[in-house]
Amino acid sequence: MAVRERPAGRYGSPKPRGRRRWWYWGLLSAFLVAGVIVAYVGYQNLGSDPFDPEVTTYHVVSDQQVDFGFTVQRNHPDQAADCIAYALAADGSEVGRRELYIPPSETTNQLSAELRTDKRATTVEFYGCSYQVPTYLTKSMPPSG
């Protein structure tokens, strides 16, 4: 069977395929570069947390106070940090909150603090930590009570 050619005056001349391939590869490259950028930004914002605060002990002193011990591991132990701890009641409501200054340290230290509460607390947890220490927290303010 013979291949029949189309009449050029009726259908126009065939277009070269090189332009389509150029746009295809250019668009594919742009999507790949955009994907790498999105992945990098996502890892920077949602990747591993530079802090690992952990409540090691807590003791409910009264209906208005709970004492707790904690450690904070961080990726830059030579920098001071600011952490926020909060206490919860049996019904899950927050009954107290405190901001803590964590001094620079070469090793993981066991620290302690007291937290004033509105009613009896049943647990203490950390909200989070940051290297951006506010000016009202100074090195002269120890984390304990």
30-86 residue pLDDT tens: 999 999 999 988 887 776 778 889 999 999 999 999 999 999 888 888 888 899 999
User: Which pLDDT score is estimated for 123?
Assistant: 92
Higher pLDDT, 62 or 144: 62
Q: What is the DSSP string of 14-80?
A: PPPSHHHHHHHHHHHHHHHHHHHHHHHHHHHHHS--SEEEEEEEEEEEETTEEEEEEEEEES-TTS-
User: Which pLDDT score is estimated for 45?
Assistant: 76
pTM for the structure as a whole: 0.63
CATH number of 51-130: 2.60.40
* 15-19, 30-34, 121-125, 130-134: range with lowest mean pLDDT: 15-19
Burial 49-77 (b: 16+ CB within 10 A, else e): eebebeeeebebeeeebbbbbbebebeee
What's the chain's length in residues? 145
* H helix or E strand, kind and range, residue 11: helix 8-11
Higher pLDDT, 124 or 105: 124
Tracing tokens 């605060």 back to the chain, one arrives at 53
Tracing tokens 């120890």 back to the chain, one arrives at 142
